[in-house]
Amino acid sequence: MEAKLRNYINGVWCEEDGEYLDVMNPSTGELLTKVPVTSGKRVEEAIDAAAAAFQSWKSTSMSQRVEYLFKLHSALEARKEELAQVIALDQAKHIKDARGEVARAIQLVETSCALPLLVRGDKIVINEDVDGEIVREPVGVIGSLAPFNFPALVFGWFVPFAIGCGNTLVFKASEQSPVFMQKIAEILDEIGLPKGVFNLVNGAKTVAETMLDSRKIQAMTFVGSTRVGKIIAEGCAKTGKKAMVLAGAKNTLIVAEDANIDAFIENFINACYGAAGQRCMAGANVVVTAGIYDKVKERMLKASKNVNVGDALDEAVFMGPVISEESIKRIHSYIELGVEEGCTLLLDGRHLKLPEKNKKGYFVGPTILEGATADMRVVKEEIFGPVVTLIKADCFREGIKIINNSEYGNGGAIFTESGKTAQIFLRDTNSGMLGVNVGVPASMPYLPFGGTKGSLLGSQIKAQGMDSVEFFTKRKVATIRFYGDDNKIETSDSDTCCIIK
């Protein structure tokens, strides 16, 4: 891997002279590479390049733009294992999860190839003399801010749809997991995407601030915490930008009295410990009805103890590390808080036995806090790690109440064999993505992805599907009348055109 990463601006790879941050391998704690802390001036250069490129790119035919998307799809397919390996290194998502993430990104590019069918206007006849027409056009320059936890997925949400709709981009990768987007920039360069259509800048707070302040950026996308998401949404409002802000989450799994416990346990392991709990769709609270509570608790404990934790590149492992030492400290503090609030530490993941090469890695094992109640901070606040709060309830409706009282509204799921119970859950639960016997109810690429309440800020438009078309285009409405006498319109002898006399 290169000693230092670079920015990609106006079709040129740029080495920066200023400060660099260390990019670590979370599985080993070793230095992988260094990422530049890009200056505001350099970010402005990227914005200027995108603004200049927009003038010609927006006029490029849809069929030509989609040709680049097909080339992108082929390149991703050819390099998908390399891309998964990269994610497993700097983001430390377990290699099997990383392959799944890359596969989903490829599906998103496939979906974007259908944009000619999706980006179209509507025309109606108002009366015999007047037509009405809605025309979709690209928004302009898009600024994108990516999180550390899903570099491929977030690329798939934003880049293909934005450029396919005729926009240009300035994209900031996470400084904690920036290598995947280096590879994407290489691919976009190799397929011949015109200069300035896609620009990659690395760095920290200054990049986001420069984007927010720029009048040349018409829209921004963000995925991350609700705290930062509010800053992005407010900044966009001040400068008149559209904002797609996918923010924090605290998802609850409900186990009803008639649940298939085997199916729940399988889903529970994936929902709560997949990606080390570092995803916005992770299960965090588990609400179990009283009649089956003891049985479910024992099954959860046994299954959690059998989760194999280790190096993200080890095929035999299920769960890799968390992203950083700071994450470990935060997760540990929440475990301690749960005990202080009155929980019983049913399973403690803070003291793992690891191979020598991984002892400096950033590992937290599966953790279960039993006896949690709805008013506890560990139930209400996002921990973003493999920590589960276990709640005993008299009825499944208590789980719905916990979801509805949360400041977040990303996802939730119920496990039941009753159609009536499922119907009540779907009707009464205020959350953006719901699952019935599905622990991670993340939507497919052709459906919208996003939550409600504190999980979705800004313009209230979600990622994926037609929502992406709504966000990355703007609409003009035309009312059209032509004056003239139909009787004066005659067909020429060649019968190929109309002549108005």
* Dihedral pair phi/psi, residue 416, rounded to 5°: -160, 155
- The full length of the chain comes to 501
Assign residue 371 a region (left: φ > 0; alpha: ψ between -120 and 50; beta: otherwise).
Answer: left
Neighbouring residues of 422: CB distance < 8 A, sequence distance ≥ 6: 414, 416, 436
At 135, which amino acid appears?
V
Q: Would you call 7 helix, strand, or coil by DSSP?
A: strand
The conformational region for residue 288 under phi > 0 = left, psi -120 to 50 = alpha, else beta, is beta
**Is 280 a catalytic site residue?**
yes
Q: Is the dihedral of CA 383, 387, 391, 396 positive or negative?
A: positive
- Residue 50 belongs to what H/E stretch? helix 40-57
- Rounded to the nearest 5 percent, the helix, strand and coil shares of the chain are 40, 25, 35
Rounded Cα distance, 61 and 45, in Å: 26
Question: Are the CB atoms for 267 and 438 separated by under 8 Å?
Answer: yes
Tokens standing for residue 409: 């509204």
DSSP 359-390: TTS-----EEEES--TTSHHHHS---SSEEEE
Rounded CA gap, 451 and 406, in Å?
12
Give the end-to-end CA distance of the chain in Å, rounded to a whole number: 71
SS3 (DSSP) at 2: coil
Three-state DSSP state, 254: strand
Q: Helix, strand, or coil here: 477?
A: strand
Alpha-carbon distances, residue 110 vs 67, 167, 349, 469 (angstroms): 12, 18, 39, 15
Is the alpha carbon torsion for 43, 48, 54, 57 positive or negative? negative
Query: From CA 185, how far away is CA 140, in angstroms rounded?
Result: 20
Alpha helix (H) residue ranges in 58-138: 62-78, 80-90, 95-112, 115-118
Q: Which of 165, 236, 272, 280 is catalytic?
A: 280
Single-letter amino acid, residue 11: G
Catalytic residues: 280
